Amino acid sequence: MGMNLKNYSSNRAMKFTESVIREMTRICLKHKGVNLAQGFPDFPAPAEIKEAALRAIQADLNQYAITWGAPNLRQAIAEKFSWYNGVAIDPEREITVCCGSTEAMISSLLAIVNSGEEVIVFEPFYENYGPDTILCDAKPRFITLHEPDWYFDEEELTQAFNNKTKAIIINTPNNPTGKVFSLEELQFIANLCLKWGVIAVTDEIYEHILYDGAKHISMASLPGMRDQTISINSISKTYSLTGWRVGWAIASESLTAAIRKVHDFLTVGSPHPLQEAAATALRIDRSYYNTLAKDYEERRDFLSRVLEDAGFRIYRPRGAYYIMTDVGHFGISDDVAFAFHLVEKFGVATVPGSSFYSRSSLGATKVRFCFPKKRETLEQAAEKLRNFKAKR
Ligand SMILES: Cc1ncc(COP(=O)(O)O)c(C=O)c1O
């Protein structure tokens, strides 16, 4: 009998499972379904950014960039962070360009967290944060965001901070809930960070995808938080370029020095020609962001109507491009069974709610839909969901 996988895998790797989201994508392909599981756009990226990438390759910017990022891109990041988020930063000392915000997050956590230290995570959470804390041997402390508007209990959060707390991860606008943290909420969190000397690690990749007049606020712009925040972002969502793998972490000089070391030995760097094109993206005409938000608002409204017509209970998002729904009343045993039922029988892939929670019971009646899709893709999904309604 051969050795099974367990004999070779590290204890670390055995502590988490394969990504459920990317598994749903594979199942969807098998059933030739409409993929409303994994959050990537199926429409083209802006032409001027693609042309910039072609030019960069032709100009032979094809070797390693400086490990912490091409100067042109770091300059563009600093300019944009200043006008949009209201914080001036030094592109020489306070930015690390990484392979997407995914690498920026894990490099940042590995750079600051010691074994056994605690990291506070709001749940439901973007699924990477679970394995991220395991990979840096941190102890995650989960704080529930309560529906319908995904508020947190201030007392519960206050109790979670202690001498072992190293960081708190904040994702706003939020995946999967669509919550946009308010100034009051961020100020409350900031006060706790300042009191306990805790680093706020913020994932702001949906900062331009906002609805109903919601405003994005960067934690780093709050008094006293500039040097106690690691602000993470990428070109993936704002410019529909999830496959390019260009993201970054913005932090004080001393935090950045640690992040740069981890990043260098993990990946050396993000693709050089795509970094050059990312600089073009960040300098795009500012009207682009209004159009982006407006287009997404139309998609949100369309899918919301379709889901409600099909009998789903929805939590209306104020930002990002997902809709959390409640499916408990459909009478299928749990969220995983429901997601499989929907993709296998009706050809619509979603993500089971439990994959966003540390305690799966909290997500047992929920599934998440995403909508960064062409109108025709959403129409196809609508057709399939009408079929679901008819056969229920
Ligand atoms: C909250 C959040 N953070 C990070 C990512 C991954 O981003 P990137 O492509 O920049 O690694 C995603 C992708 O869905 C996300 O939803």
Residue nearest to atom 14 of ligand 1 (CA): 39
- Stretch 61-79: mean pLDDT, rounded? 98
Mind listing the pLDDT tens digit for each residue in 275-302?
999 999 999 999 999 999 999 999 999 9
The confidence band for 5, taking pLDDT boundaries of 50, 70 and 90, is low
Residue nearest to atom 13 of ligand 1 (CA): 39
Least confident of 9-13, 238-242, 303-307: 9-13
pLDDT value at position 1? 47
pLDDT value at position 304? 98
Mutation pick for ligand 1 pocket among 19, 36, 96, 101 (CB with most ligand atoms within 8 Å): 101
Give the separation between CA 145 and CA 45, rounded to whole angstroms.
33
The confidence band for 2, taking pLDDT boundaries of 50, 70 and 90, is low
pLDDT value at position 181? 98
3-state SS track over the chain: CCCCHHHHCCHHHHCCCCCHHHHHHHHHHHCCCEECCCCCCCCCCCHHHHHHHHHHHHCCCCCCCCCCCCHHHHHHHHHHHHHHHCCCCCCCCCEEEECHHHHHHHHHHHHHCCCCCEEEEEECCCCCHHHHHHHCCCEEEEEECECCCCECCHHHHHHHCCCCEEEEEEECCCCCCCCCCCHHHHHHHHHHHHHHCCEEEEECCCCCCECCCCCCCCHHHCCCCHHHEEEEEECCCCCCCCCCCCEEEECCHHHHHHHHHHHHHHHCCCCHHHHHHHHHHHCCCCHHHHHHHHHHHHHHHHHHHHHHHCCCEEECCCECCEEEEECHHHCCCCHHHHHHHHHHHHCEECEEHHHHCCCHHHHCCEEEEECCCCHHHHHHHHHHHHHHHHHC
- Stretch 82-101: mean pLDDT, rounded? 98
Mind listing the pLDDT tens digit for each residue in 110-145?
999 999 999 999 999 998 999 999 999 999 999 999
Mutation pick for ligand 1 pocket among 126, 201, 244, 274 (CB with most ligand atoms within 8 Å): 126
pLDDT value at position 155? 98
Mutation pick for ligand 1 pocket among 205, 230, 371 (CB with most ligand atoms within 8 Å): 205
Per-residue pLDDT for 380 more than 60?
A: yes
pLDDT value at position 3? 59
Distance (Å) from CA 5 to ligand 1 centroid: 29
pLDDT value at position 22? 79
Distance (Å) from CA 183 to ligand 1 centroid: 23
Q: Are 348 and 36 in contact (CB under 8 A)?
A: yes
User: Which neighbouring-strand residues pair with 354?
Assistant: none
| Whole-structure pTM value | 0.96
Distance (Å) from CA 350 to ligand 1 centroid: 17
Distance (Å) from CA 99 to ligand 1 centroid: 11
Mean of the per-residue pLDDT values of the chain: 96
Residue nearest to atom 6 of ligand 1 (CA): 102
Distance (Å) from CA 78 to ligand 1 centroid: 21
Distance (Å) from CA 247 to ligand 1 centroid: 9
Give the separation between CA 321 and CA 152, rounded to whole angstroms.
21
Mutation pick for ligand 1 pocket among 175, 244, 274, 355 (CB with most ligand atoms within 8 Å): 175
pLDDT value at position 94? 98
Higher pLDDT, 306 or 17: 306
3-state SS track over 52-86: HHHHHHHCCCCCCCCCCCCHHHHHHHHHHHHHHHC
Mind listing the pLDDT tens digit for each residue in 41-65?
999 999 999 999 999 999 999 999 9
Mind listing the pLDDT tens digit for each residue in 361-370?
999 999 999 9
Binding-site residues, ligand 1, Cβ < 6 A: 39, 100-102, 126, 171, 175, 203, 205, 234, 236, 242, 247
Q: Which atom of ligand 1 is nearest to the CA of 320?
A: 16
Mind listing the pLDDT tens digit for each residue in 317-343?
999 999 999 999 999 999 999 999 999
- What is the percent of the chain where pLDDT is above 90? 92
Torsion, Cα 356 112 90 203, to 10 degrees, reads 0
pLDDT value at position 15? 87
Distance (Å) from CA 234 to ligand 1 centroid: 8
pLDDT value at position 11? 87
> Could you give the C-alpha distances from 47 to 150, 248, 279, 301, in angstroms and in order?
37, 23, 14, 27
Distance (Å) from CA 205 to ligand 1 centroid: 7
Distance (Å) from CA 235 to ligand 1 centroid: 10
Distance (Å) from CA 4 to ligand 1 centroid: 32
Per-residue pLDDT for 7 more than 90?
A: no
72-79 LR contacts (CB < 8 Å, sep 24+): 72/275, 72/276, 72/279, 73/97, 73/246, 73/275, 73/276, 73/278, 73/279, 73/282, 75/279, 76/278, 76/279, 76/280, 76/282, 76/283, 77/248, 77/250, 77/282, 79/282, 79/283
Q: Are 363 and 353 in contact (CB under 8 A)?
A: yes
